[in-house]
Amino acid sequence: MNVLVRFCAIISMLFSMHSMALSEISPYQGVVPAQGATETQLSEQALKQVLIKVSGNVNINKLDDSKLLAKHLDDLLAQFGYQELNKKRFYYALFDKRKINSALIAMQQPIWGDTRPKPLIWLVDENKRLTSEDMIKSQQDEALVSGLQQTQLERGIDTQFPLIDLDDALAVSASDISGRFYQTVADASLRYDAEYFVVANLNKENNQQWQLSWELVQHLTKNNNNQVVIKQTNSGDKAAVMQAMLNQIADYYAQRFAILENKGQKSTQVLSINNIHSLAHLMRLNALLEELNAVDTFEIVNISEQQVQISVTLKGGLSSLKNALNAHSQLESNGSTVSPFHYNWQP
């Protein structure tokens, strides 16, 4: 990369990153502490982070093919720059999405796209209080927040905490979280549009040791049921137990939503979507399908008064497509026994 291109890339990155929040950081963007390393070393660290975020495989950088990619940094790098985040200086590197995906396919590694649900975390702290979004944003507990933020950067998932305003106070209490009253918590989580929520208790064992008991729960709107998908207890310092929780959630999401592309003949599936009443609905449906990592190509095969049928060519298997579709609140399965790919559009 010549000097002029580097200068333009830095200027562009500084402007685009000036007010960037963690939730706006792309999986194809590495964000690493800028201290004590050369620019080339920082780019290599950022690339390693991106490979983990995009593949979902925490061991990917141990592969020989991953190590070879570091020799082609200039070809992979699209933009880079520096910014202060929470009073610390970070190096940002945005890599070319198409080239990263092509490299992962060649390495026979899965690709985890944008289907990354944001878990809503109902956390009862050591003082038996519910942790609010404001407490996280104002960093009232620096160790807790640093553990969360570091893992968010490393794994490419974001989190949210409840507001704990009057509505939340009337709907749920710390004892509801500790008692694992899932339906009460699910009802309180509706306002946040969260398909997954966490119920967790943080307790202090001694000056350095903490215990985090937590469960990741998926709320199934179709039958108003709650399914515990992870149940775990982590021990260590406060930052470490938060990191362990988010890493395990990221591993679960990657297993569920990452696609290992089929190199042979790709299969197809017809989707039936009800309640498509306008061109605007159809355009939003089109945009949704274009973003799905599980979908290779698609075309409309039939349009009736209120239903659209779409033939989808898959990158992976049917389960990957179903998981990706079910993760979008605008598509609600209508419970058809004839086809599991029959949905109602929710404007």
The predicted-structure confidence for 291-338, as pLDDT tens digits, reads as follows 898 999 999 999 988 789 999 999 988 888 888 898 888 888 887 666
pLDDT of residue 326: 86
Task: Identify the domain containing residue 208 by its residue range.
Answer: 120-257
Contact 32, 46 (CB under 8 A): yes
Domain co-membership, 143 together with 244: yes
Q: Which residues of the chain fall short of a pLDDT of 70?
A: 1-23, 336-338
Domain co-membership, 243 together with 163: yes
pLDDT of residue 337: 61
* Residue 145 lies inside a defined structural domain of this protein: yes
The predicted-structure confidence for 163-215, as pLDDT tens digits, reads as follows 999 999 999 999 999 999 999 999 999 999 999 999 999 999 988 899 999 99
pLDDT of residue 143: 93
Sign of torsion over alpha carbons 249, 251, 254, 256: negative
Angle between helices 238-257 and 142-155 (to 10 degrees): 30
State the maximum Cα–Cα separation within the chain, in Å, rounded to a whole number: 66
Q: What CATH number corresponds to the domain at position 204?
A: 3.40.50
Domain co-membership, 88 together with 129: no
The total number of structural domains that make up the chain: 3
pLDDT of residue 217: 98
Domain co-membership, 203 together with 238: yes
Domain co-membership, 252 together with 283: no
pLDDT of residue 49: 97
